[in-house]
Amino acid sequence: MKQQHLFLVRNFCSSLAVALLATELIKIEPAPAIASETPSVNSAIAMKSEPSKTQSIKATKQGYLQAKSSFRHSQASVLLSKQEIGSRESGVGGRELRRLRELRELREKNNHQPSSRSVAPAFTVNHQLPITNYQLPTTVSQQPTTKPNPAQPPANAQVNDRKAQIPSYLNPDANPLRFPTKPEDVQVVGAQPITFQQALDLAQRNSTQLREARLNVERSQAQLRQALAAEYPRLDLETGVTNQGQNLFSEEPEQFFGGQIDTNETGVNGNLSLSYDLFTSGLRPANIRAAEEQLRFNRLDLERTQEELRLNVANDYYELQRADENVRIQRSSVNNAQASLRDAQALEQAGVGTRFAVLQAQVQLAQATQRLTDALSQQRIARRQIATRINLNDSIVVTAADPVAVAGQWNFSLENSIVLAFRNRAELEQQLAQRNISEQQRRAALAELGPRISLAAQYSLNDTFDDDTNFQDGYSLGGRLNLSLFDGGAARARARQEEADIAIAETNFAGQRNQIRFEVEQAFSQLQSNLENIQTTSVALEQSREALRLARLRFQAGVGTQTEVIDAEDDLTQAEGDRVNAILNYNRALAQIQRSISSGQQR
């Protein structure tokens, strides 16, 4: 009889759990359902009220009360989990989700009808993302005549404030040759949140690559001044003082007629010369134009370096955001796994769960903890990567202050974007500048075979001290003609080398043009695909949250399995990661297409 009582109590617990699940799904208060079941329990106990069964009846009542307390505890855990899930609904789309739920609850309250709790998509085509009206022109006739403005980030990110103060302690040491020798010199002492715009400003100010490109421009400017100096005459001054004598170690010769011969004398002399190359067979103008093209090449390289730095900083910042979001997602996964473990343990204690479900929950928690550890490691790496890119102080790491959000929109067609890239890219102009440099160097090499005419003027002055004569001076004027009759073919060989360099520059121009077109098409395609992925992953994220909630309720009611909960948790983690990746991949593609047309630099 005792086994029959326990069997009845377990059946009652199962029916009670099903009633609680139905109550949660149709928004009916659980109190009436429990009250309606209570008389049947009392009547069942009254039918078996023999004196010899008093102890069994007491045990049955105690088991019922424990089961009822366990289910209330599980229901409280479900409500707590719902609050945790609701608190994590932040970022792009969280506000829309809460608003839709409030509107749905208000409509149900006005209609006085219980909610059906159906899984409705939280995002439609007209979701409130910053890129709702993303439209691309389809004709090339509307080609803009100016460069497109860089895509603007969301207003809440506050990355457009270029006057934002940047802490001075973020700057690196002024001595580039500093060499730390102590552990405390490289110890990290703090973290500083920075916005995307602050990261760009720090990179523009502290980047070693950008500083090297600026120094190359200064060097080419000095080379141009050196080449221009050949257009001016050359004026030289040479002067000296000499002391000369005889018979330093030898005997003096015999003196006749008692005279004395002074064999030591001191004198001064000086030469002032003026020279000018009147005709160089094109060597001088070729060197000047080659220096000008080299300066243009280095300035274009500075622009290219700035654009590459902007793209790299953007990718590093988005990678830092991805690492931060991955840590948040994995922590949420750990919390979900802990909640599942608590539910499994509560059901096991109530006698309606199994040890196998508890072990599954423990394994799931261990795996989630391992993924969280890996995410924290990737976060530290991402922080150090961007700190290295923008050359910050060694003792400071930075964190992302901007939330993950769509950075802007692209309002140009594919054809317009390609034409703008061909017009603005510094790499194409660099190849043209390199071709011009090789052409001028070819002319300079052939000029070595031509005649060169130069003029020269000289004035000289000599004076010997302690003599009876005054100083002596003189001048000279003349011209000079130089012509190389035979150099073994060296000049023409140099000219042929430069001709090969011209052909190489032209070939590189064609290859660079094809590469630029590919980059624009690739970034444009990624923009469109990631825009659609943002909408798709937003819907999938809400559906996975609802699926996890239902899977937990089913498991707590005893009609579901722990495997369903684990699968739902994995799906939720995957959906959150997919949505973050879709947004950040869109931002990366937007930064890439901006780089492809060099929209950050006006020329």
Interval 61-106: pLDDT, tens: 454 445 444 444 444 443 434 444 344 444 434 444 454 455 445 4
Q: Which of 347, 349, 344 is nearest to 562 (CA)?
A: 344
Token pair 């150099």: residue: 487
pLDDT for position 275: 93
Distance CA 386, CA 382 (A): 6
Q: Which of 528, 589, 545, 553 is nearest to 94 (CA)?
A: 545
How many contiguous H segments (helices) and E segments (strands) does the chain have? 12, 6
Could you tell me what percentage of the chain is helix, strand and coil, using 3-state DSSP and rounding each to the nearest 5?
65, 10, 25
Distance CA 30, CA 28 (A): 6
pLDDT for position 156: 35
pLDDT higher at 280 or 125: 280
The mean pLDDT of the chain is 75
Token pair 């992925």: residue: 533
pLDDT higher at 140 or 475: 475
Please write down the HEC assignment for all residues of 371-391.
HHHHHHHHHHHHHHHHHHHCC
Report the range of poorest mean pLDDT among 89-93, 119-123, 484-488, 518-522: 119-123
Report the range of poorest mean pLDDT among 78-92, 305-319, 442-456: 78-92
pLDDT at 12 over 80: no
Q: Does residue 89 sit in helix, strand or coil?
A: coil
Distance CA 579, CA 325 (A): 10
Q: Does residue 472 sit in helix, strand or coil?
A: strand
pLDDT higher at 267 or 34: 267
Q: In sequence order, what DSSP letters do the residues of 424-449 get, joined into one string?
A: H-HHHHHHHHHHHHHHHHHHHHHHTT
Report the range of poorest mean pLDDT among 144-148, 457-461, 567-571: 144-148
pLDDT at 42 over 90: no
pLDDT for position 254: 57
Interval 497-508: pLDDT, tens: 999 999 999 999
Is residue 264 very low, low, confident or very high in pLDDT (cuts 50, 70, 90)? confident
Report the range of poorest mean pLDDT among 6-10, 104-108, 140-144, 473-477: 140-144
pLDDT higher at 537 or 150: 537
Question: Averaged over 339-359, what is the pLDDT?
Answer: 86
For the full predicted model, state whether its pTM sits above 0.85: no
